[in-house]
Structure 1
Amino acid sequence: MEKLTTIEIEKHLEKLPEWNYADHAIHTEYEFKNFKDCFSAMSRIAFECEALNHHPDWANTYNVLNIKLSTHDAGGVTLKDIKLALAIEGIVEEEE
């Protein structure tokens, strides 16, 4: 999969307003009501990651989930990252 240009990434991020581009990756942060809701979203996201065979760099602290996506083999953001970000957005919207 080919790495996207900055212009291509910014165009895709128009559909992902909660995400930003920095350090060769796209990033977002979600805040949930509590740890249980955060962990529930992470579990649902994990199934989507497995289905797409693409796994985020992520961390949570209590009710906050930080996600960073890039395609390591390509050295930056690819369409694979955009596809996973869109899926994550759908999952998080369902949780809310």
Structure 2
Amino acid sequence: MSNAADLRAQKCQHQVTALSADEVSERLQAINNWSLQDGKIVRKFSFKNYYDTLAFVNAIAYVIHAEDHHPELVVTYNQCVVKFDTHSVNGGKGGLSQNDFICAAKLDAIFDQSFV
């Protein structure tokens, strides 16, 4: 089983095959506070104010750009909801890939280091 440190050490690569339900369940155990919702992994990050929320969004922008794996973001005054899935898997029908979990673990590290 992968743990968060193992996931953070990996680099996103082009994915064409979605993870199985068992693989998704196993990887969800490695990342705290993420859940499976409508075929995506989702986490709500909470902040003291809008400035901290935007600082987080700016910090994660570098990582998600460098990994070339872009989540759906919902940004409000003191929250940022992040939703990951991979559009290129399952013949373009989408699903979850290793990349989603790699990026989730990296975003968790940014939050834990700067906003907790």
Report which of the two structures shows the higher radius of gyration computed on alpha carbons: 2
For residue 11 of structure 1, what is the aligned residue in structure 2? 26
For residue 94 of structure 1, what is the aligned residue in structure 2? 113
Report the Cα distance in structure 2 between the residues aligned to 1:32 and 1:67, rounded to whole angstroms. 14
Letter in 2 for 1:27: V
Give per-residue Cα distances to partners, 1:41-89, cap 9 Å, x unaligned: 1101000001100101011110111010000111111001110000000
Map 1:68-87 onto structure 2 (within 5 A).
Answer: 68-74=83-89, 75-87=94-106
| Equivalent position to 1:50, from 47, 65, 78 | 65
Q: TM-score, normalised by structure 1?
A: 0.96
Q: Which sections of structure 2, spanning at least 5 residues, go unmatched?
A: 1-14
Give per-residue Cα distances to partners, 1:1-25, cap 9 Å, x unaligned: 1211111111111111200012111
Aligned-residue RMSD, C-alpha: 0.8
Instruction: Determine helix, strand or coil for the equivalent of 1:15.
Output: coil
Q: Which sections of structure 1, spanning at least 5 residues, go unmatched?
A: none
Aligned residues: 96
Structure 1 stretches of at least 4 aligned residues deviating more than 2 Å after TM superposition: none
Q: TM-score, normalised by structure 2?
A: 0.80
Letter in 2 for 1:26: I
Instruction: Determine helix, strand or coil for the equivalent of 2:36.
Output: strand
Letter in 2 for 1:19: W
Fraction of identical pairs, as percent: 28
